[in-house]
């Protein structure tokens, strides 16, 4: 028995939170493994399942129904290995195509995230409700995980001191044919003052902070949640309440769609 | 890490129109990110196969207009599905 097999066997019989150990990447992370993940580890450490950044030729196979996917991804199913290979290839193809070249992340990280995604799909497959095809659902799970990881990686070391919160609301530098540059400048200035006033006076401190970091600096909701000890849904709700409040205030101040198009 | 609060001049010029438009599109019965995430796969199939609209579809579209995080995720999902279609 080689080292990794011994480790997995030892963890399997202990049935306790364990460290996952992948020889290829030297990963050590503390997570709980379930039986299907253990089998996945075995598969990934066997020669014919070695990960490669290059896609292998597309195997000839019959398309699986959603039910067949679910059944064959059970660790004790005879078709488990081939289903897992096919699913990995399917996810990797989509993930690689979509995220590669975004400049945010190297291919090696992308492969790691994709493998994490495969594990998550496997462990969550019983929550698949059948509202879409299984493969669409699996891709959704994978994209969500990879994007979350990329956002985390992009934002984790960003210091808030890097942001300049003194930039004026409107610079009134652009114009179009509807207004003279002077009229336009005045209008944009008025709108700027109104927006600033409403943001300052109508929103709570939490709403204002979330709005500014999200809109001005593009900080993802998840990152705001992480930094404020909240969750994405609560931050969305916070922003929703802020928007509803501003909507009310804009209506009260007589801002209509024509005003908005004049701002373009 | 704490967030800086009490900002005096919050948003840059390019965000003014977006802010007003977003306020206009806001509604009491908006879906939250969790509900959109739950339905994003069926919505992707609706878009890819030109399916029939429904109230849920309209609410998802409203959310995607208002939530750039979910909108980005959805765009990436569509791209990934299209890229992998040939493998099915
Ligand atoms: Zn959202």
Share the mean pLDDT of chain B.
86
pLDDT, one tens digit per residue, over A142-200 is 999 999 999 998 888 887 776 665 554 444 444 444 556 666 666 777 777 788 888 88
A contacts of B83 (beta carbons < 8 Å): 93-94, 96-98
C-alpha atoms less than 13 angstroms from C-alpha of A60 in its C-beta half-sphere: 0
- Predicted confidence (pLDDT) at residue A70 exceeds the cutoff of 70: yes
Candidate CATH numbers 2.30.110.10, 1.10.10.10, 1.20.210.10, 3.10.20.30; the one for domain A162-262:
1.10.10.10
Nearest-by-Cβ selection for A263 from B17, B45, B87:
B17
| Residues of chain A contacting B12 with CB distance shorter than 8 Å | 167-169, 216
Contacts of A177 (CB under 8 A, 6+ apart): none
Q: Cα separation of B25 and A61, whole Å?
A: 47
Asked if pLDDT for residue A2 goes beyond 50, the answer is: no
For residue A1, the tally of other CB atoms under 10 A from its CB is 8
- What's the mean pLDDT in A76-88? 94
Between B45 and A13, the higher pLDDT residue: B45
* Cα–Cα separations (whole angstroms), residue B8 to A77, A205, A245: 61, 11, 19
DSSP assignments along B50-71, one per residue:
T----HHHHHHHHHHHH-HHHH
Residue B81: is its pLDDT beyond 60?
Answer: yes
- Distance (Å, rounded) from C-alpha A107 to C-alpha A96? 8
Considering the domain A60-157 in this protein, what is its CATH number? 1.10.1740
Cross-chain CB nearest to B41 (options A90, A132, A222): A132
Summarised one tens digit per residue, pLDDT across range A116-143 is 999 999 999 999 999 999 999 999 999 9
Which of B4, B5, B7 best probes binding to A when mutated, by most A CB atoms within 10 angstroms? B7
Nearest to B36 by CA among A17, A140, A133: A140
Asked if residues B59 and B70 have their Cβ atoms less than 8 Å apart, the reply is: no
Determine the distance separating the centroid of ligand 1 and the alpha carbon of A45, expressed in angstroms: 38
Q: Where are the domains of chain A?
A: 1-58, 60-157, 162-262
Which residues in chain B are closer than 8 Å to A211, comparing Cβ atoms?
10-11
Burial of A239 (0-12, 13-18, 19+ CB in 10 A): buried
pLDDT greater than 50 at residue A44: no
A86 contact residues in B (CB cutoff 8 A): 87
| Degrees, nearest 5: CA angle A99-A104-A109 | 70
**Which residue in chain A is spatially nearest to B29 when comparing CA positions?**
A240
- Mean pLDDT for the stretch of residues B7-35: 80
């Amino acid at each position: 028995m080689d080292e990794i097999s011994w480790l997995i066997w030892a963890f399997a019989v202990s049935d306790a939170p364990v460290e996952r150990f992948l020889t290829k990447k030297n990963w050590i992370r503390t997570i709980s493994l379930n039986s299907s993940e253990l089998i996945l580890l075995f598969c990934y450490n066997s020669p014919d399942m070695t990960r490669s950044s290059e896609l292998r030729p597309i195997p000839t196979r019959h398309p699986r129904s959603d039910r067949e996917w679910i059944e064959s991804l059970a660790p004790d199913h005879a078709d488990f290995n081939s289903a897992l290979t096919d699913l990995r290839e399917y996810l990797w193809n989509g993930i690689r195509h979509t995220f590669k070249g975004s400049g945010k992340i190297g291919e090696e990280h992308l492969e790691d995230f994709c493998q994490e995604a495969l594990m998550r799909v496997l462990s969550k497959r019983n929550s698949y409700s059948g509202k879409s095809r299984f493969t669409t659902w699996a891709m959704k799970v994978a994209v969500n995980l990879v994007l979350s990881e990329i956002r985390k990686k992009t934002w984790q070391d960003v210091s808030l001191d890097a942001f300049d919160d003194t930039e004026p609301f409107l610079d009134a530098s652009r114009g179009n044919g509807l207004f003279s540059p002077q009229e336009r400048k005045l209008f944009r200035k008025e709108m700027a003052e109104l927006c600033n006033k409403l943001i300052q006076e109508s929103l709570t401190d939490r709403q204002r902070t979330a709005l500014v970091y999200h809109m001005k600096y593009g900080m993802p909701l998840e990152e705001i949640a992480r930094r404020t000890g909240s969750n994405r849904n609560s931050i969305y709700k916070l922003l929703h309440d802020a928007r509803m409040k501003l909507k009310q205030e804009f209506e009260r101040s007589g801002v209509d769609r024509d005003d908005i198009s004049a701002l373009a | 890490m704490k967030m800086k609060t009490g900002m005096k001049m919050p948003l840059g010029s390019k965000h003014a129109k977006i802010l007003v438009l977003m306020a206009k599109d806001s509604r009491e019965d908006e879906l939250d990110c969790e509900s959109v995430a739950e339905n994003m796969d069926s919505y992707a199939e609706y878009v890819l196969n030109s399916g029939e609209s429904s109230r849920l579809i309209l609410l998802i579209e409203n959310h995607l207009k208002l939530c750039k995080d979910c909108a980005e995720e959805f765009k990436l999902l569509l791209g990934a599905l299209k890229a992998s279609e040939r493998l099915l």
